[in-house]
Amino acid sequence: MGGSKLRRAVDIRPGEGRIALLSGGTLALIIAAHTVVETARDALFLSKLPPQRLTFVYALLAVLSLLAGAGSAALASRFGRRAALVFSLMACAYGAILLYLRPVTDVSVFVLYLGSGVVGTVLPLQFWMMAGQLFSVSQGKRLFGPIAAGGVLGAAVGGGAAALALRFISTGSLLVLAATIFVSAGLIVAMSPAGEAADQTGGGTSAFGWVRDFSVLRKERYVWLVAALTVFGTATVLVADYLFKSTAAAYYPTERLGSFFALFYAGQNAVALIVQIFVTGAVMRRLGVTGALLVLPILLAFSGTLAGLGGGFVVAFAAKGADGSLRHSLHRVSSELLLLPLPGEVRDKAKPLIDTVFGRGTQAVVAGAILGLAAMGMAEPRQLGIVMGGLAFSWMVAAVVIRRPYVDLFRRALARGELPGGAEVDDLDLASVETVMEALSSRDEDRVLAGIDVLADSGRSRVLPALILYHDSPRVLERALAVVGTPERRDWVELAERLVNHPDSAVRAAALRALAAAGHEEPVMRALDDESEVVRACATFFLARRDHASDLLEDPHVNAMFEETGRDGVRARAALLEVIGEYGDPRWLPVVEAIVEKDANRRGVPALAALAIERTGDQRFLPYLVSNLGIREGRGIVRDAIVSMGEAAIPVLQDALEDPATAERVRME
């Protein structure tokens, strides 16, 4: 079971391995370099300035992060996403060296703290913008999770590298190490393959587009609840961060701060990596989205209470450790899932609004509040612990309150049939599963289809009852057969045999596919005489595959399909291509080649041929695929087939660009 989960989590297909590895490695280097800078930053800042100055940094960072985000978007729009990331990485390396060469003064450490905060905002943003261009949507759903794990690994390695380096060099010299890592990441980005899309410039998204999106708050009360969670969460972790750093500065002598922060960040990020890989999924399934939201605030409320009772540095250490270990793993996943049931347009407006106005705005306000407390002499650890505990308790209340609206919103999303699939629903919780099961009994076929898709995408297809095959809708029956019709289950077989005689040919074909794939041959033999060419193509494919013929073109049933003439013959061969694209192997290459030669220019054939070519993996078809990029219908399928061929496609694409006879539309693609 563990092996199958791992294979599903890291589903890297032919041609994707190098770019996925380079992307994960790049993110790991970016986060590792930032962690090294973070170590130097905290140690140098607290050795030169009193902890109260952190409040000024927090407030300024809230403003600078907004400006930096706008500048980053403008840079990517003007020069392209890859070039923007390379420029930013080299600029970070240059800035780190400049700060290293300057004497350590109050101003330099203040600038270092602000710069590291901006870097932590801009570089991950630019990386994921570039990744969104390197990978298609389907690739992103499979690969972004493992790539993101590279970032957590980089944080752990960066902290460990800083701790090791401080045995031999000064704290300030860590900036040279960080600059080296930044340059390495920049070189990898500059020399890595371009991916499936050219590096585009321009974009229609305004950096400050969130200013126009306040109307979403009037329309959706639920967004207010998510915003409240963000406000209390941001405030709590900011107080925890200040409490941790101020008590660390008082607890450790100046010369030991660097090694302490390095070891702390290394351990914290190692725990975060373990939580992300082994804990997050299990906790999400056990507690659900809203239950998982309670874990971090409960720990911080407990820590705040202990600090208020005089717990001292150990409690502050534990609070910061819990925050660093959970906020970017378990808590991030559950927070992202909160927005999943919102309509797409509302979600796209709500997320930047919450992250900027409520996230950064709260950071600035809380920084000012801490400064005010410090001015009144009320920023001692016990008092800050009480504040942190109160904020964390409010955070807990908001997490409890949002549970019912979340389930209601999830139910409405299913009713609309708008719940998006993909990696995000892998952590579907029990309350959501119950809502999905309720949707399966609906008379609305779109709602039922949405429920089936959610169960399939979340890896819970066994929960889908075989009795769904009694549904009246052909669309529901087709989708349900694809989900329940697996060899691991037997409860669907008798119901599927009944559907072989269904009036709808698409349902008959789906039932035949499922039965044949599970080894039930009798219905397949009968389907050779079906009036539908799609059903006959399914029967032909599975019988030929059973016979293990060395030359499938000599199979009598396959040969009969080539002898059919007119539209019926074209549709039959196109249907055969579709089945090959789903179940085929390299033995079917001669058949694919023969169909392409016979029906290459028939409508719909290029896209179905692309599916079959991608399945069989024959690079000889690359010129044919490239020539079909100019056809609008099925262009995305053709493009995915070319990408699946990996680097072998690059020379063919270059030849097409250099050939003056190549159609202009093909050149554009």
Check if the beta carbon of residue 667 is closer than 8 Å to that of residue 656: yes
- The confidence score (pLDDT) of residue 232 equals 95
Distance (Å, rounded) from C-alpha 274 to C-alpha 329? 9
621 CA to centre of own chain: 32
Is the separation of the CB atoms in 507 and 474 below 8 Å?
yes
Give the distance from CA 57 to its chain's centroid.
31
Distance CA 150, CA 335 (A): 21
Q: How many residues does the chain have?
A: 669
Per-residue confidence (pLDDT) for residue 297, from 0 to 100: 94
pLDDT of residue 199: 44
Rounded to whole angstroms, the Cα distance separating 613 from 641 reads 7
Helix and strand tally (H, E) in the chain?
33, 0
Residue carrying the six token digits 């905002």: 121
pLDDT of residue 303: 92
| Angstrom distance (rounded) from CA 538 to CA 317 | 63
Comparing CA positions, the residue from 527, 569, 524 lying closest to residue 542 is: 524
Closest CA to 422 of 463, 461, 458: 458
pTM: 0.64
**Cβ neighbours of residue 401 under 8 Å, at least 6 residues apart?**
225
Tokens of 518: 């599970």
pLDDT at 423: 38
Q: How far apart are CA 512 and CA 523, in angstroms?
A: 7
**At the fourth CATH level, which superfamily is domain 16-193?**
MFS general substrate transporter like domains (1.20.1250.20)
Amino acid residing at 589: L
Q: Which residues of 474-500 are buried (b: 16+ CB within 10 A; e: fewer)?
A: bebbbbbbbbbbeeeeeebbebbeebb
CA 595/CA 570 separation, integer angstroms:
9
In the chain, which stretches have pLDDT less than 50?
1-9, 195-205, 420-427
* Residue type at position 518: A
Comparing CA positions, the residue from 517, 518, 512 lying closest to residue 498 is 512
Burial of 331 (0-12, 13-18, 19+ CB in 10 A): buried
Collapsed DSSP state (helix, strand, coil) of residue 385: helix
Q: How crowded is residue 417: how many other Cβ atoms within 10 Å of its Cβ? A: 16
| pLDDT score for 201 | 43
pLDDT of residue 430: 55
Distance CA 152, CA 5 (A): 20
Give the pair of three-digit tokens for residue 71. 């500048």
Inter-CA distances, 649 with 246, 633, 639, Å: 56, 21, 11
CA–CA dist 334, 338 (Å, integer): 6
Helix, strand, coil tally for the chain in percent (to 5): 80, 0, 20
Cα 550 to Cα 35, 340, 525, 558, 590, distances in angstroms: 58, 50, 21, 13, 11
The first and second tokens of residue 370, run together, are: 């801490």
Any idea where the domains of the chain sit in the sequence?
16-193, 220-250+291-401, 416-460
| Residue-level pLDDT at 218 | 66
- CA 481 to chain centroid, in Å, comes to 28
CA distance 26 to 606: 36
Other CB atoms closer than 10 Å to residue 648's CB: what's the count? Answer: 11
Integer Cα distance of 262 and 58 in angstroms:
21
Q: DSSP characters for 339-356? A: TTTS-HHHHHHHHHHIII
Q: What is the pLDDT of residue 399?
A: 92
| Dihedral, CA of residue 507, residue 509, residue 513 and residue 515, to nearest 10 | 70
Burial environment of residue 388 by CB neighbours within 10 A (0 to 12, 13 to 18, 19 or more) = buried
C-alpha count within 13 angstroms, C-beta hemisphere, residue 286: 8
34 vs 158: CA distance, rounded Å: 8
Q: How far is CA 43 from CA 38, 248, 664, in A?
A: 9, 10, 58
Neighbours of 207 (CB within 10 A): 17
The residue type at 382: R
Cβ within 8 Å of residue 206, ≥6 positions away: none
Burial tier of 282 (Cβ tally within 10 Å: 0-12, 13-18, 19+): exposed
Rounded (10°) angle between helices 221-251 and 17-48 = 50
What local confidence, expressed as pLDDT, does residue 291 receive? 84
Token pair of 552, please? 């499938």
DSSP string computed for 490-514:
-TTHHHHHHHTT-SSHHHHHHHHHH
